[in-house]
Structure 1
Amino acid sequence: MEIVDLKPRKGAGTLRIGDSDDLVLMENFGGIPAGRLKPLDHGIVIICTAGAAQFEYDGLTVQLGKGDLFLFMAHSVVEKFMSSPDFNCRQVWFSRSAMWNMNMFTKSSLADLLPLKQNPKVALSASDVALFETYFQQLSHHMRNSSLVLYPDIVRSIVSTYLLEVLSVLRRGERKVVAESGDNSQNNNGLHGKKLAERFIQLVEQSDGRIRRVDEFAQMLHVTPKYLSKLLMDTMNRKPSVMVHFFTLKAIENRLRFTDMTMQQIADDLRFPSASFFGKYFKEHSGMTPLEYRMKFHDSGK
């Protein structure tokens, strides 16, 4: 069955900065299309406010009830969605570009997201619900008042803190799951595989877009490319190449947005064989040319 790219809807019940899909608030559920869906460029924070829902998330059956928080990570597949008639939730959509620009992970590697992939849901306490409601109301207020001075920067600052709060409660929930299950994996092969996957992500992140061959990373880790691929699929349901492209795009976007480097200089810096090859690579994976991407943000003053 074909997998459809899931994108944030437009119209009533949604808030965004201008026409951009980088940050989108949805105050009401509004339904999702049938079939197999995968957001290619967005993470989504979902907080259930009423009713119940059930769906499969990368093959894992997830049930949501009132007060549950769920982190939907980009490139994950959701299908077989069902909900009660009164189901409702609030959603915060954030693109890859928005996440990097808010420096969410300044103090930690994205390898830290591995546990979140395995435990993406947590039941919020009453104080958690009140806290996230406060954040949501602040975001709604500022996104409805675009005439306020520096409002895009204020919105991004609030969202950055909001997402850090999300990571905090999810990690708290992860520790609780481990404690309740009596997980003694510290000495088994599962932990070894997890550490190897984390090390792979760290190496990709540290390469800053300059290494794009999976076999080179496998060689650094002293494993075969086939083994590395199986390991990443088992632990994150991701192909190694997806993670490599993910971090390569981060490196390119940072240079396009925050430097005055020419396309040739970026191509040389990231070890592309030519500026033409670099341009084709970026368009294939982002949907726009490097110049279009740079102009998009420079024209909007972001």
Structure 2
Amino acid sequence: MKYIDDINLFKSNKDFVAEIDMTGSLGRIYHYPQRMEGCLFLLCLRGECDITIHLSEHKIQKNDIVTILPETFVHVHRQSPDCRLYLIGFNKELLNGINLFNSTMNYLSALIDTPIIPLRPEITELFQDYFMLLIKMKRMGAKPNKDLISTMLLTILHGVGSIHQNTNVTTRTFNRGEEIVKRLVQYIIKHYTKERSVAFYADLLHISPQHLSTTVNKITGKTVTDIIAKLVITDAEAKLKSTDLTIQEIAYSLNFPDISFFGKYFKRYTGMSPKQYRENG
């Protein structure tokens, strides 16, 4: 279906994509981790979809709406045979035009922390109508006015943000340990391409490396190094599968001193070399 070509069109000059996925296209496109190039909204009308958004695993179910922001890593593990998703995506240029941060600052943190929220059936119908309007515009083929598309993007964002602000999804309080882990992940997302030292992140959090390590292990059952490596490996996998960068270029982009060190690091966490991963499917 058209969407298979279009969803990667965040790299093209089209302002938006809009389709109904009835055949598992999303799962085929994101069957390995990829960095989202634009902003993607999913509306689930039936079935289920198991997905990882950044480092967190989620299950998308009927009446869920999903907001996947730019620079987020996405990996679809499974779509049920009856899964039906409405998909609307907007490219980076359009997002820059609306100043995404200022436009969503009141609920941006909620969108990052909780990308999937359940809707009441009647609210699902309202979003479905809005998505269908964009899908019909897309299928007409005529290039729509950019200001109109920007307005529609803001309408969806504000609609989702309003739901966040009026439900318990944004009112959860974090204890001290959970807050440390939450902030750690935010810092890792920002700095992982340059920094993999526990001490670096402990310094940003104004706590000792030992305190950070103990807290993270208690809350997540993982080490700080594991969490850093998860994002580094996810990025490496995405670049190996979805770009033509050489393995050496990928190694340098992730701040490895040489291709040998990168290869050993990659194999330690995946069980195969970067070359084997790239050639495997």
Same fold (TM over 0.5): yes
Alignment of 1:112-151 (within 5 A): 113-145=108-140, 151=145
Deviation at 1:64, TM superposition (A): 2.6
CA RMSD of aligned residues (A): 4.7
Cα distance change on mapping 1:55 and 1:155 into 2, 3 Å: same
Query: Does residue 78 of structure 2 align to residue 81 of structure 1?
Result: yes
The count of residues paired between Structure 1 and Structure 2 equals 215
Cα distance change on mapping 1:109 and 1:20 into 2, 3 Å: same
Deviation at 1:161, TM superposition (A): 1.4
Deviation at 1:118, TM superposition (A): 3.4
Alignment of 1:252-291 (within 5 A): none
Q: Distance in 2 between matches of 1:106 and 1:122?
A: 22
Structure 1 equivalent of residue 247 of structure 2: none
The TM-score normalised by the length of structure 2 is 0.55
Q: Distance in 1 between matches of 2:19 and 2:85?
A: 8
Structure 1 equivalent of residue 90 of structure 2: 94
Deviation at 1:125, TM superposition (A): 1.3
Deviation at 1:87, TM superposition (A): 1.8
Aligned-pair identity in percent equals: 16
Deviation at 1:146, TM superposition (A): 5.8
Q: Distance in 2 between matches of 1:233 and 1:172?
A: 35
Q: Distance in 2 between matches of 1:120 and 1:160?
A: 16
Structure 2 equivalent of residue 191 of structure 1: 179
Structure 2 equivalent of residue 104 of structure 1: 100
Deviation at 1:193, TM superposition (A): 4.9
Structure 1 equivalent of residue 146 of structure 2: 152
Structure 1 equivalent of residue 240 of structure 2: none
* 1:32-73 superposed Cα distances (whole Å, 9 cap, x missing partner): 3274232441332111122x1231415644333321112234
Cα distance change on mapping 1:55 and 1:144 into 2, 3 Å: closer
Which residue of the other structure, out of 150, 165, 174, is the alignment partner of 2:159?
A: 165
Structure 1 gap segments, 5+ residues each: 1-7, 205-211, 243-283, 286-302
Q: Distance in 2 between matches of 1:62 and 1:220?
A: 29
Cα distance change on mapping 1:115 and 1:41 into 2, 3 Å: same
Helix, strand or coil: the match of 2:100? coil
Structure 2 equivalent of residue 30 of structure 1: 23
Cα distance change on mapping 1:233 and 1:138 into 2, 3 Å: farther
Deviation at 1:194, TM superposition (A): 3.9
Structure 2 equivalent of residue 53 of structure 1: 48
Q: Distance in 2 between matches of 1:22 and 1:147?
A: 12
The TM-score normalised by the length of structure 1 is 0.52
Of the two structures, which has the highest relative contact order with CA contacts closer than 8 Å and spacing of 6 or more? 2
Matched-pair contact (CA < 8 Å) for 2:49–2:79? yes
Matched-pair contact (CA < 8 Å) for 2:49–2:60? yes
Which residue of the other structure, out of 2, 9, 17, is the alignment partner of 2:4?
A: 9
Matched-pair contact (CA < 8 Å) for 1:104–1:164? no
